Amino acid sequence: MGRIAGIARHQFPKAPMETIDRARVTLEGGIAGDFRGAMKGKPHKRQVTLMEAGDWEAAMAELGRSIGWEQRRVNLLVDGLDLPQMPGARLRIGADVMLEVRCECDPCSRMEALAQGLKAALMPDWRGGVCAMVIAPGEIAVGDEIRIET
Q: What φ, ψ does residue 119 adopt, rounded to 5°?
A: -60, -45
> pLDDT-derived band of residue 113, with 50, 70 and 90 as boundaries?
confident
Structure confidence at residue 14 (pLDDT)? 85
Per-residue pLDDT of 24-35, as tens digits, reads: 999 989 999 998
pLDDT for 150 beyond 80: no
Domains of the chain: 2-142 (2.40.33.20)
Burial class (CB in 10 A: 0-12, 13-18, 19+), 121: buried
Structure confidence at residue 54 (pLDDT)? 97
Per-residue pLDDT of 82-109, as tens digits, reads: 999 999 999 999 999 999 999 999 888 8
Amino acid, single-letter form, for residue 33: G
Structure confidence at residue 43 (pLDDT)? 57
Alpha-carbon distance of 137 to 38, in angstroms, equals: 13
> pLDDT-derived band of residue 67, with 50, 70 and 90 as boundaries?
very high
